[in-house]
Structure 1
């Protein structure tokens, strides 16, 4: 069963029982990723590492491996 099918079943059940509708699948995905990134930056500060954007860290790793 896909997430959409499960969502439709849950929506139907909620309407039959008078419960609030469930959130659609994928609605909070960006917020979760943003929170994970913020947490990693927070951990970097606590560990004494620079808290830069993750793209910069990935690019610098690529740059170091490409120069070898």
Structure 2
């Protein structure tokens, strides 16, 4: 059963039982992404790591660790 079919079935059941319809699929996707980001930032603070710029710092360390070529 696809997500759309499940949504239609849930909407039908809610209408039969006079309940509120469930949210459409994808309605809260961005909220989930924001909460995941906030949770990662929280875990970084608790672990004593910097919250912002971790990827850039790792790339800079890699870049400076490579031996320079002599062309």
Q: What residue ranges of structure 1 are gaps of 5+ in the alignment?
A: none
CA separation in 1, counterparts of 2:15 and 2:57? 51
**TM-score between the two structures when normalised by the length of structure 1:** 0.75
Larger-Rg structure: 2
> Is it true that 1:57 corresponds to 2:60 in the alignment?
no
Q: Tell me the C-alpha RMSD between the 2 structures.
A: 1.8
CA separation in 2, counterparts of 1:5 and 1:65? 48
**TM-score between the two structures when normalised by the length of structure 2:** 0.73
Question: Where do 4+ consecutive residues of structure 1 move more than 3 Å?
Answer: 56-68
Greater percentage in helix:
1
1:17-56 Cα offsets, whole Å, 9 max, x none, are 111101111111111111111111111111111111xxx4
Q: What residue ranges of structure 2 are gaps of 5+ in the alignment?
A: 67-71
CA separation in 1, counterparts of 2:9 and 2:42? 39
Alignment-derived partner of residue 47 in structure 1: 47
CA separation in 2, counterparts of 1:17 and 1:33? 32
